[in-house]
């Protein structure tokens, strides 16, 4: 158990803070919107770690009109005494020393999302100013700032204005409040996105049952009461939230928990009538998008239990059905959350858990937990529904196998026919090549003429593909447009997908900026998300952004992507300008299409990413699923197709 006392002795200093401002990407990934929010996540994660270890019950996040943000918790408060090694207060150590924190051992934080001594100091280093208040009988305060040292001709980052001060103001509060303003000299934008923060706090509330997270956006209403995120059901509520709008096979998600060898294990799942498998895993509140040993343990435990259940309970023609693990996971939505001491992750992104001891612990917990659930006779209908779904999945798996064999048998002629639509590039270096999936033959013709033939391939779509969200894999495999895309990319599909066989580094969707164009874009992104998700995860999928306007006068030409840019272009071109509104890509000549959309030096691309996998899953269901009313509500609240950064599944450029 984590001890209740927390002093400066508990903070270990590994290395002084160095060059964070010079190379911020090394610490926060980028200086774009993702990096901006990352410095907020670091402070939020510290507060949540206090709650996750039983020391806090409430975290308040606020955004202010001056561009700053604050995070306050009711935990123990940062150490205010003098650090024995550094000779300065614990607060100053935390915010000025890289790799300094109380989480490098398990005495203060049994379970934490990482060595967050890095995060607090990096947030300070990349802020114009940062203020800390510690509530511990009295209020302690300290301020830091980043300023230009003209003598040294450099920015001094996160420097203390003065040592930690005991204000002498008595308080019954306890905890820490950190407020900071991101530095515009570092970030491309310093405007926090409220929707992004809401998604993060909602997910965090599900993963920390009973903890209250409050979000107040005071930028327009300084008296806002805020939004409260609090879940008494935890990850069981999370599964229900993700499945909202889907047709579920049984009313309540199944749930079990266990503690094995100091590993805290929770899992919840529910099946839908859909065709996709959605397993979301977390370690110490960190999403592990690539899974890991906890993910494998859950899947193997589920397979073993349900195989044994089938042998004992299936009768008649279904008795002896040969299942594999995938059959039991078709249509599943599952959340696995584990807390592990000294969690070891594979790769820089912490996307995959590597602790080998976690797999057998989770597998055992899954089998034990499901045995307890199945022993309750009230759950009989639930397992009947799961078995019925698995039987259907096993049959469809066999049908898919036969379809693929049939396709392979005629692959020569069929491939030639399908790829007859493709204007391929001459280079065979996949890392340098890109393919444009273009809406319509007219735009496809211009793109073929205007492209760089060595490295750019053009694949025109002659019809609208089917909505993969509502169709089975067999139906997808039989669709002409998807068959063409699959053949062109060379990766295979679904469980046969092989990223190493990808023929193009960039897969670029190029559609008109109108209703049909956005629909085609959504259909293609849904297909990639459902059956080639690794393409998105590895950063290969892009959306081309053709301009809406051409503003010109004689030989002066400016292109604009929205109304605001059009006004600027008009001012730049000057009196006597003319404006052309492009209704579609087909209206552009080959030269115009090259200059605006194909040329790597001048074009604008939007990279599709999945920052929050569970939220992306939910939004795909809303936008492409069967619940028209839920889709209408979301579009009315969020849609603004004239903005580059407002896109169907919350992609980031």
Residue 246 near residue 625 (C-beta atoms within 8 A) = yes
Given 72, 133, 277, 512, which residue is catalytic? 512
User: How far is the C-alpha of 338 from the C-alpha of 263, rounded, in Å?
Assistant: 7
**How far apart, in Å, do the first and last CA atoms of the chain sit?**
43
Is residue 538 among the annotated active site residues?
no
In what order do the strands lie in the sheet containing 286-287? 254-260, 263-271, 332-339, 278-283, 286-287
How many other C-beta atoms can be found within 10 angstroms of the C-beta atom of residue 573? Answer: 18
Per residue in 274-306, is it b (16+ CB within 10 Å) or e — as a string? bbbbbbbbbbbbbbbbbbbbbbbbbbbbbbebb
300-304: long-range contacts, CB 8 A cutoff, minimum separation 24: 300/325, 300/359, 300/363, 300/366, 301/362, 301/363, 301/364, 301/365, 301/366, 301/367, 301/370, 302/269, 302/328, 302/329, 302/366, 302/370, 303/328, 304/363, 304/367
Mention every residue, 6+ apart, whose C-beta is less than 8 A from residue 587: none
User: How far is the C-alpha of 43 from the C-alpha of 36, rounded, in Å?
Assistant: 12
Say if residue 271 is exposed, middle or buried (CB neighbours under 10 Å; 0-12, 13-18, 19+). buried
User: How far is the C-alpha of 443 from the C-alpha of 438, rounded, in Å?
Assistant: 7
Pairing label, strands 434-439, 506-510: parallel
Given 10, 128, 439, 612, which residue is catalytic? 439
Residue 123 near residue 130 (C-beta atoms within 8 A) = yes
Per residue in 426-455, is it b (16+ CB within 10 Å) or e — as a string? eeeeeeebbbbbbbbeebbbbbbebbeeeb
Per residue in 89-118, is it b (16+ CB within 10 Å) or e — as a string? bbbbbbbbbbebbbbbebebbbbbbbebbb
Given 514, 538, 564, 646, which residue is catalytic? 514
Angle, vertex CA 600, rays to CA 597 and CA 606, nearest 5: 65
Is residue 505 among the annotated active site residues?
no
Given 148, 195, 261, 516, which residue is catalytic? 516
Dihedral sign (CA 640, 642, 645, 648)? positive
Phi, psi angle pair for 340, to nearest 5°: -130, 130
Pairing label, strands 278-283, 332-339: parallel
Is residue 439 among the annotated active site residues?
yes
Pairing label, strands 506-510, 541-544: parallel
Radius of gyration of the chain (CA): 27
Q: Which helix (H) or strand (E) holds 271?
A: strand 263-271
How many other C-beta atoms can be found within 10 angstroms of the C-beta atom of residue 333? Answer: 29
Residue 131 near residue 63 (C-beta atoms within 8 A) = no
User: How far is the C-alpha of 100 from the C-alpha of 120, rounded, in Å?
Assistant: 9
The two most distant CA atoms of the chain are separated, in Å, by 87
- Reduced to 3 DSSP states, what percent helix, strand and coil does the chain have, rounded to the nearest 5? 40, 25, 35
Residue 438 near residue 509 (C-beta atoms within 8 A) = no
Is residue 514 among the annotated active site residues?
yes
Phi, psi angle pair for 551, to nearest 5°: -110, 120
How many other C-beta atoms can be found within 10 angstroms of the C-beta atom of residue 231? Answer: 21
Return the active site residues: 439, 512, 514, 516
């Amino acid at each position: 158990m984590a001890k209740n006392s927390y002093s400066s002795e508990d903070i270990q200093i590994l290395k002084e803070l160095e060059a964070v401002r010079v190379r911020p990407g090394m610490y926060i990934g980028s200086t774009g919107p993702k990096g901006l929010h990352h410095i907020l996540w670091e402070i939020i994660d510290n507060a949540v770690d206090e709650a996750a270890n039983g020391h806090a019950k409430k975290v308040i996040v606020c955004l202010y009109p001056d561009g700053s943000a604050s995070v306050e918790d009711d935990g123990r408060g940062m150490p205010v005494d003098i650090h024995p090694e550094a000779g300065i207060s614990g607060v100053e150590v935390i915010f000025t020393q890289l790799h300094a924190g109380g989480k490098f051992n398990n005495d203060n934080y049994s379970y934490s999302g990482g060595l967050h001594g890095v995060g607090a100091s990096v947030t300070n280093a990349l802020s114009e100013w940062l203020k800390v208040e510690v509530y511990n009988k009295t209020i302690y305060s300290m301020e830091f700032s980043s300023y230009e040292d003209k003598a040294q001709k450099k920015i001094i980052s996160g420097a203390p204005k003065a040592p930690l001060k005991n204000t002498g103001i008595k308080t019954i509060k306890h905890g820490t409040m950190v407020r900071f303003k991101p530095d515009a000299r570092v970030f491309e934008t310093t405007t926090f996105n409220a929707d992004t923060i809401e998604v993060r706090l909602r997910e965090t509330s599900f993963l920390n049952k009973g903890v209250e997270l409050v979000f107040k956006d005071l930028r327009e209403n300084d008296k806002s009461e805020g939004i409260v995120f609090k879940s008494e059901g935890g990850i069981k509520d999370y599964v229900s939230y993700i499945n909202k709008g889907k047709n579920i096979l049984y009313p309540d998600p199944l749930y079990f928990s266990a503690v094995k060898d100091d590993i805290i294990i929770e899992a919840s799942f529910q099946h839908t009538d859909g065709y996709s498998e959605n397993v979301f895993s977390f370690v110490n509140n960190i999403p592990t998008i690539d899974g890991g040993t906890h993910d494998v343990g859950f899947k193997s435990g589920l397979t073993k239990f349900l195989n044994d259940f089938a042998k004992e309970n299936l009768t008649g023609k279904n008795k002896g059905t040969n299942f594999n693990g995938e059959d039991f996971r078709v249509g599943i939505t599952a959340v696995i959350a584990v807390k592990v001491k000294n969690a070891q992750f594979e790769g820089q992104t912490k996307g995959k858990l590597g602790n080998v001891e976690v797999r057998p612990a989770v597998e055992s917990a899954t089998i034990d937990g499901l045995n307890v659930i199945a022993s309750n006779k009230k759950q009989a209908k639930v397992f009947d529904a799961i078995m019925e779904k698995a039987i259907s999945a096993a049959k469809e798996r066999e049908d898919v196998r036969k379809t693929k064999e049939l396709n392979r048998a005629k692959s020569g002629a069929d491939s030639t026919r399908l790829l007859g639509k493709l204007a391929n590039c001459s280079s065979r270096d996949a890392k340098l090549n890109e393919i444009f999936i273009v809406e319509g033959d007219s735009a496809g013709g211009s793109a073929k003429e205007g492209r760089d033939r060595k490295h750019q391939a053009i694949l025109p779509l002659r019809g609208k593909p089917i909505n993969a969200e509502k169709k089975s894999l067999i139906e997808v495999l039989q669709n002409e447009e998807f068959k063409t895309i699959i053949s062109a990319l060379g990766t295979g599909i679904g469980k046969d997908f092989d990223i190493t066989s990808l023929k193009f580094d960039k897969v670029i969707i190029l559609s008109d900026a109108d209703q049909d164009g956005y629909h085609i874009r959504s259909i293609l992104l849904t297909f990639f998300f459902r059956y080639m998700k690794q393409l998105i995860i590895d950063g290969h999928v892009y959306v081309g952004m053709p301009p809406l306007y051409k503003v010109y006068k004689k030989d002066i030409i400016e292109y604009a992507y929205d109304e605001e840019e059009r006004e600027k272009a008009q001012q730049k071109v000057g009196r006597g300008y003319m404006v052309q509104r492009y209704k579609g890509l087909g209206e552009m000549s080959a030269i115009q299409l090259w200059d605006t959309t194909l040329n790597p030096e001048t074009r604008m691309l939007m990279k599709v990413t999945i920052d929050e996998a569970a939220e992306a899953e939910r939004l795909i269901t809303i936008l492409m699923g069967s619940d028209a009313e839920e889709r209408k509500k979301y579009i009315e609240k969020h849609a603004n197709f004239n903005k580059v950064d407002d896109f169907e599944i919350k992609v980031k450029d």
